[in-house]
C-alpha cells in the first residue's frame, strides 16, 4: 500500500479541526517537602464520577519545582474528604464558609496566594497516587508583587507641542540635551534632522504630531 502524502494526511484532519481544544503542558512536582509556590487558579468542579471537587493549579517557585505547574484535586464527596479540604484551607489562611454554597467565594482569596507544600507519591497494585499537601501560607501574593513591579516602573509621559518647540529654540542656541531629545523624537517619527534648515523647523514639524 502506498504511503499517504502529507497533503492527504492533513486533509483527513479537517473534521473537528476548528474545534481543536488548546492544551498546555505541565510537569508533576517530584516528591519532596517544604516546596514553595503560589496558587495560580482554583475552582469548584465535577469529577468524572459526578462528585464535587476543588481543583487547584499550583506553580512552583523554589528549587526542584521552579517554573513547573501541577494540579491538586480535593474531593468533597464525603465528610472525611471535606475535613481534609477544611484543614488545608485553614492552613493557608482561607476561611471555612458557614454554608457549602459559599465555598467558591471562600476560595477566591487563594488566587495568587504564596504557599509552602509537600509532595508525596505512592503506588499500589491498582493506582499511582500523586498528592500535594498544603502546609502554610507564606507572606505576600504573586498578584500583589506583580502590581508592585508595575507601580515601580517609571511612566514616561509624551512631550507636549509647547515643550517640543521650546527644545527647538534651545537646540538652535546650542543646548545638547535639547538636540538629543529632538533627534530621538525625529527618529521615532521617521524624520531626518538633516532635511530641516534649523532645529526650530524640525521642532515645528514634530510638534504637529503631538
**DSSP state letters, 52-116:** EEEEEEEEE-STTTTT-EEEEEEE-SSHHHHHHHHHHHHHTTPPPPSSGGGHHHHHGGGTTEEEE
Please give the model's pTM, rounded to 2 decimal places. Answer: 0.57
- Describe the strand order of the beta sheet including 113-123 as a list of residue ranges: 69-75, 52-60, 32-46, 113-123, 128-141
Provide the 10 A C-beta neighbour count for residue 117.
27
> Residue 202's domain spans which residues?
161-207
| 114 and 180, same domain (yes or no) | no
Is there a single domain that holds both residue 116 and residue 134?
yes
CATH number at residue 49: 2.40.50
CA angle 122, 127, 129 (to 5 degrees): 35
Q: Which of 152, 177, 198 is the last residue of a domain?
A: 152
What's the domain count of the chain? Answer: 2
Statement to judge: residues 41 and 91 lie in one domain = yes
pLDDT digit string, tens, across residues 84-93? 999 999 999 9
Residues 92 and 32 in one domain: yes
Write down the mean pLDDT value for the chain: 86
Least confident of 5-9, 49-53, 122-126, 178-182: 5-9
In a domain, 12, yes or no: no
- DSSP symbols for 128-155: EEEEEEEEEEEEEEHHHHHHHHHHHSPP
Query: Same domain for 175 and 142?
Result: no
From 120, 116, 61, select the one nearest 92 (Cα to Cα). Answer: 116
* Average pLDDT for 28-39: 92
- For residues 20-35, average pLDDT: 74
* Tens digits of residue pLDDT in 68-119: 999 999 999 899 999 999 999 999 999 999 999 999 999 999 999 999 999 9
Q: Is the pLDDT of residue 130 over 80?
A: yes
Same domain, 67 and 141: yes
Q: Are residues 38 and 109 in the same domain?
A: yes
Q: Are residues 112 and 202 in the same domain?
A: no
Q: Is 17 within a domain?
A: no
Same domain for 148 and 165?
no
Query: How many CB atoms within 10 Å of residue 84?
Result: 14
Q: Would you say 106 and 62 are in contact if contact means Cβ atoms under 8 Å apart? A: no
- pLDDT score recorded for residue 56: 96
Amino acid at each position: 500500500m502506498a504511503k499517504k502524502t502529507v497533503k492527504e494526511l492533513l486533509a483527513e484532519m479537517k473534521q473537528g479541526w476548528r474545534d481543536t481544544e488548546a492544551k498546555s503542558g505541565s510537569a508533576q512536582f517530584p516528591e519532596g517537602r517544604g516546596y514553595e509556590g503560589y496558587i495560580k487558579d482554583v475552582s469548584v468542579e465535577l469529577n468524572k464520577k459526578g462528585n464535587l471537587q476543588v481543583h487547584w493549579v499550583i506553580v512552583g517557585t523554589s528549587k526542584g519545582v521552579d517554573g513547573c505547574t501541577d494540579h491538586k484535586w480535593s474531593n468533597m464527596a464525603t465528610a472525611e474528604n471535606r475535613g481534609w479540604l477544611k484543614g488545608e484551607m485553614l492552613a493557608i489562611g482561607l476561611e471555612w464558609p458557614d454554608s457549602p454554597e459559599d465555598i467558591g467565594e471562600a476560595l477566591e482569596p487563594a488566587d495568587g496566594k504564596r504557599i509552602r507544600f509537600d509532595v508525596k507519591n505512592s503506588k499500589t497494585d491498582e493506582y499511582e497516587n500523586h498528592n500535594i499537601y498544603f502546609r502554610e501560607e507564606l507572606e505576600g501574593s504573586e498578584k500583589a508583587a506583580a502590581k508592585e513591579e508595575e507601580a515601580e516602573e517609571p511612566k514616561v509621559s509624551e512631550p507636549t507641542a509647547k515643550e517640543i518647540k521650546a527644545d527647538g529654540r534651545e537646540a538652535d542656541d546650542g543646548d545638547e540635551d535639547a538636540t538629543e531629545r529632538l533627534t530621538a523624537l525625529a527618529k521615532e517619527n521617521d524624520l531626518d534632522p538633516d532635511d530641516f534648515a534649523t532645529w526650530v523647523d524640525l521642532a515645528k514639524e514634530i510638534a504637529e504630531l503631538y
